[in-house]
Chain A
Amino acid sequence: MIISEKLCNDVTVISIKGTIDAKTAPELKKFEFASALESPVVIDLSDVDFLDSSGLGALVGIARKKRDQGGNVTLACMNNKVRKVFEITQVYKLFDIYDDVEAATLNAGKK
C-alpha cells in the first residue's frame, strides 16, 4: 500500500494505492497527517484494489479521529469493488462520497 499526501485548496488529499487489509491497515491507522488537525481530508480511493474489514476499520478510525478534532473526511472515486464493501457494511452512511476528487476537494469541509 502506498499513501501519498498533497494539499489542494487548503484540503488535504490522501491518495491510497494498493490493498488495504489486515496487513496494511495498521499503517493507515497510524498515518500522521502533515496538515493541520482540523483541516478537511479527502481520501482518493481510485487506486485501491482491495479493502477488507480491517481496512474499513482503519478508514472509520481516521474519520472518527478527524471528526473529534473538528475536521472531516470525505471519500472520492471509489471503484466498484470498494463501493460494494461500503454498500454491504452500510459504512456509506458515515461518509460523504464523491465520484470526483476535484468535486470532493471543492466541497470538503463545507459541512
Chain B
Amino acid sequence: MKALIIIKEQDYSWIREVLPHVHPLLVPICNKPFAEFLIDFSILAGCEAIRFVSDGPLSDVEHYCDDGSRWGIAVSYSSIQIADELQQVIKKNQRYCSDGKIIVISGFIFIHYNKQKDYKKLFAALPEGEILNCICGSLSLSGAPLDGQKAIVSDVALSLTGLNSIDVYYRLSMEVLGYASSPYVLPGYSNEAYCSIGSNVVITKGAEIIKPVIIGNNVQILAGSVIGPDAVIGNNVIVDRDSTVSASIVMDNTYIGEHLAVTNRIATENILIEPESGASMAMEDPHLLTGIKKIGSAETIVQSLVHGLMALILISLQLIPFLLLLPILTMQGKWKWYKNTSYTTVSGKTLKLTTATLERNGLISTLAGALSLDRLPLLFRVLSGQLAIIGGGAVVANSNTVADLSSAPSSNRACVFSYAEAEDWPLTGGDSAIVERYYAVHGNPFQDIIMTVKALFNRILEKNTP
C-alpha cells in the first residue's frame, strides 16, 4: 500500500496570506506539523511509501520530511500542473502507482483518526473508490480489495475536516488539544492528561500553567505569567512577566511582551489574528509582540564583506571615467537620472534609489555603457550595506509588484547587478526569476565574484540599459 497526498496551491492559498512564513503542509496543529499527521495516518493505514504531489513549492516540506527515514517510510515528491485532474496526476505518477493499492488524500484536509485503531485491515479490504469527502477534498482508494475481505468505513473512527479558514484551523487545534488521551501522537513530554511540555522549557517560579495546555521546545515562561487553559505555545517562544495566554495559539518564534493578555487569538511573530473573523493586527511595538529572529550566519557576513570589497574595487575603477564622461553624456541628453522606490528584501522594506538610464548610441555612451557607469551611483549603497552587488534584481515598489515578493526567494535582496544579467537570461518575463531562485540556493560569496564579472562582461555587449 502507498499513499499519494495531492495538495494544490489553490487549496491552501488562504493560509499563505495569514501565515506566510510557514509552508501550509508544515503549519503546526498543537505543535505538530500538519504533514506529520498525514504521515502518521498513512503509516497506520499500512502504507510503505508516501508521495507528496503539488503544483506549488515543496522544498520546505522536503527539507522537513527528507526521505522519510525518520518515520521508517519512503517519502518522495512530485510536481503537477494547476489544471491536472486526479486521473492526470495518477498518470504522471504511474510508476509509483503501478503496483498495489494507493490511498489518495486530495485537498487541504485533516483526517481524524485514532492511533489505537487498526486501519491496515480496513484499507486492505475496502473497494476502490471514494471513502470520505468534504468540501475541501477527499480520501479515496485505488486498486482492488484483497480477496475475501469486506469492510465498511463506519467500522472504525475516521472523518475529515476541510481546512479552509483560520477559524477552522483554530477550532481544530483546540479540539486536538482538548483530548484527555490524544488519538494522535503529539510532541513533548506528558505524564498527565491535557498537558504536554517540550524540551528546554523554563517555567519561572510564580508562573502558572492551567490545563489543557501544550508547550513546545525552547520556551521561556517568566514570573507571573498564566498559560492556559486551552493554550498552545509553539517552539522558541518567550512569554514575558505577568502576561496571560488563554484559548490561544502562540506560533513558533514569537515574543509575548510583559503585562499582555492574549485571549482567543493566534499570535505569530508581531501579528495577532482573531480566528472568528480572520482579522489581523500587526503590532509595531516590539516590547508588546514581536518575532524572534535568527542572528545572521557567518556566510551572510562574509558575503556582505565580499560585496563591499567588490563595490570598492569597481568604484575606484569607474570613478575617473564617470567624472569625465558624465558631463558630456548629460549635455548630449543620453544620460538621465530618475528616482524610484525599490524593495530591499522580500520582507517588504523599501529603499529610495536614484538610478540612471543610458542611451547607447554613439561612441561615448557605448563606452560608458560597456563600463557600466550607469550602475556607479548604486555601488555606494553596497558599501553602506543597503544593496547587494549581485542578486535577484531590484523590484520597484508599487501595488502591482507586491505580489512578486511572495514568490521571490527569501534571501533575495535589491542589488546592482542581477544573476539574470550574468547568465544572459532575458531580464523581462518570468524567466529571470528562474536563475535568481537557482542562485538564491546555490550562490556563495566566491560564486558572487564570478557572477559579477560575468555580468560586467555581458554588459559590454548589451545594447541599451534596461
Contact = CB atoms under 8 A, between A and B. Distances in A.
Contacts, number: 77
A66 to B, nearest CB: 15
A93 B95 contact: no
A39 interface: no
Contact of A60 (B58, B79, B434, B437): B434
Interface residues on B, range: 20 to 34
Contacts of B91: 98, 103, 106-107
A5 interface: no
B189 interface: no
A96 B84 CA distance: 10
A107 to B, nearest CB: 6
Interface string B56-79: 011100100000000000000111
B57 A56 contact: no
A50 to B, nearest CB: 12
Contacts of A91: 434
B92 A53 contact: no
Contacts of B425: 57
A88 B423 contact: no
Given A91-B434, A93-B55, A53 B96 contact: no
Contact of B59 (A52, A53, A88, A106): A88
A49 to B, nearest CB: 16
Interface of B: 55, 57-59, 62, 77-81, 88, 91-96, 98, 407, 419, 423, 425, 431, 433-435, 437-442
16 contacts: A53-B442, A54-B423, A56-B438, A60-B431, A83-B77, A84-B62, A87-B77, A87-B79, A88-B59, A93-B55, A96-B92, A97-B92, A99-B96, A100-B98, A103-B92, A107-B88
Interface of A: 52-54, 56-57, 60, 83-93, 96-100, 102-103, 106-107
